[in-house]
Structure 1
Amino acid sequence: MSNTSENPNPSSSSAKITLKTSDNELFEVEEAVAMKFCTVKQYFEDEKDNDVAARGSSTVIPLPNVHSAVLARLISYCKKLPQSNAVADNHEEEETKKKERKQYGTPGDLVDLISAANYLDFKEGLEFFNQALADHIQNKSVEYVRKFFGIKGDFEPHEEEKYREEYAWAFEGVDED
């Protein structure tokens, strides 16, 4: 799979970098997009050759912990990032961001995106997808969150019931699972 599009930052060079996923798909991406992934950026720094334009398209950078479908979504997200990282000024802007976060699929999809963003050391993506997952599990029951993350309860049933009675306020207003 080859991913080509117009350069999101017209002032940067149009050098391409080839990324190879765990399922052997090749992605040819703009330098500006690929350099948002600190793991990729570090590759060029480790090679002591920062001339991405000269080496980028001829070098294939393996990403053994990233699946092609996930990388495609991360690249798509990178291309949508604004050039400046402006903080939300108002409630309306925050609501827009919340709607954007809901577009990225199920909690399972988000876990895959978080894992890949973490591996690639893609801070903006990691922050965005973590918040999207947090938005999804907000107001969910303890049982839902335990099941989703595969967490076994620490308490015996009678202990848990005691805590539920003692701290009933913490279980009010929980959404349907």
Structure 2
Amino acid sequence: MASPSNSASTQAKKIKLESADGVPFEVEEPVAMEMETVKLYFAGNEDAIEDTVMPLPNVLAEQMPAILDFYRKHLEFRKRYPLPPTEEVKAFDDAFLENKSNNQLKELIKAANYLNSKELLDFLTNAAANRIKNKSVEYVRAFFGVENDFTPKEEAKIRAENRWAFEGLDED
């Protein structure tokens, strides 16, 4: 029978994170360490993990559950499958994006970028690219919040010179 001290040491450490809007999150160490920013914050000071609250000034509480869910599930997949992606991984990823608005997707990209979470950032930027693929200039401008700085005459000239780029676009 394990002693109380042994069972406590076998439990996964929790890392305390605090979102930009002041919401605390206790995250399993393996999940938190998927985020390079968190890993670097605690590098060389692993003893401080359980006593320190790491602020995340560029991540809102609204984004954290999705980010944590993504990494929990992907860690599970990596443990179960030697070579993801499998159909199960693809199904999870599709469901993960299913109800995300363009604005939510962009906010998650900003959070993943701040957290230096390569796997999540690659996944989200690919999703954004898929959403704007074969769309009109107006759609892409609206998606990214870019104001048109061409005069109508300049834009007409560019469209005439590059007609091929405006053919066969999907409906917005």
Deviation of 1:130 (Å): 0.6
- Determine which of 50, 65, 68 is the counterpart of 1:75: 68
Deviation of 1:68 (Å): 0.7
- Determine which of 34, 59, 62 is the counterpart of 1:36: 34
User: Residue 52 of structure 2 corresponds to which residue in structure 1?
Assistant: 59
User: Residue 15 of structure 1 corresponds to which residue in structure 2?
Assistant: 13
Deviation of 1:176 (Å): 1.9
- In the alignment, structure 1 residue 175 sits paired with structure 2 residue 170: yes
> What TM-score, normalized by structure 2, do the two folds share?
0.79
* Separation in 2, partners of 1:67, 1:85: 33
Deviation of 1:115 (Å): 0.5
- In the alignment, structure 1 residue 146 sits paired with structure 2 residue 145: no
Q: Which runs of 5+ in 2 are unaligned?
A: 1-9
User: Residue 128 of structure 1 corresponds to which residue in structure 2?
Assistant: 123
* Separation in 2, partners of 1:93, 1:27: 27
Partners of 1:101 and 1:132 within 8 A in 2: no
Q: Give the paired residue count.
A: 159
Deviation of 1:166 (Å): 2.9
Q: Which runs of 5+ in 1 are unaligned?
A: 1-11
Q: Relative to 1, partners in 2 of residues 1:62 and 1:95: Cα closer, same or farther, differing over 3 Å?
A: closer
* Separation in 2, partners of 1:85, 1:101: 22
Letter in 1 for 2:46: N
Secondary structure at the aligned position of 1:57 is classed as coil
Identity of aligned residues (%): 44
Deviation of 1:150 (Å): 2.3
Q: In the TM superposition, what whole-angstrom CA distance separates every residue of 1:67-86 from its partner, at most 9, and x where no partner exists?
A: 11101110011111132784
Q: Which has the higher helix share?
A: 2
Letter in 2 for 1:133: A
Deviation of 1:58 (Å): 2.1
